[in-house]
Chain A
């Protein structure tokens, strides 16, 4: 049973560029959430996707956007990259109903903006 898989594991981008990160949820899970973890801090919620729609969003600018596909996998897109976007981006998967679910995270994608 594959857990949450994310790609790529590491990438380096230049300021102003755009990046796409990908996530496949754990088998049986239909909900994907994205978190940003800056160095030395706890993860911060970006947004969550369920049934191919954004269900909830954290305090992140519109430069951060996402998508969920019919197979429940998801993409996180960040436009006009800033140095401050350098972080570990974590994908979390769970089931649609919040109550009583467990939330599993992937290994993350390390983004460095230079």
Chain B
């Protein structure tokens, strides 16, 4: 079945770039998603990329997709303390309606 894996923790200095990585197994995934979760809150849709794209940029966010290696990354430029949160990568299973989430990457931004 579908599996999504992420590194668990990333610490960066304020103003630096952050790169959060994700790998997935289902090559039929049409859209791939990045969500942000702040403490005690729900999931905020940050961005998504269609599987026929290699890159998508949205203000400080850049998503890179390597379909051959089934690797997805989220780059946050000029990382701010408000970016500290857990970031989830999610992919649909078997082109269905069910999203499979990674375990989340906790981003800590140091002043």
Contact = CB atoms under 8 A, between A and B. Distances in A.
Contacts of B98: 33, 45, 48, 56, 58
Nearest to A57: B98
Interface residues of B toward A: which range?
A: 20 to 34
A108 interface: yes
B33 A103 contact: yes
A103 B90 CA distance: 11
B43 A90 contact: yes
Interface in A9-53: 31, 33, 35, 41-45, 48
B30 A98 contact: yes
Contacts of A85: none
Contact of A98 (B33, B44, B50, B96): B96
Contacts of A31: 97
B42 A107 contact: yes
Contacts of A71: none
A90 B88 CA distance: 14
Interface residues of A, number: 28
Contact of A42 (B31, B44, B104): B104
Interface string B22-57: 000000001101010000011111001010000000
A56 B100 CA distance: 14
A99 to B, nearest CB: 6
B30 A99 contact: yes
B97 A102 contact: no
B103 interface: yes
A93 B50 CA distance: 19
Given A103-B33, A105-B35, A106-B42, A43 B92 contact: no
Contacts of A107: 41-42
A107 B36 CA distance: 12
Interface of A: 6, 31, 33, 35, 41-45, 48, 55-56, 58, 88, 90, 92, 94, 98-108
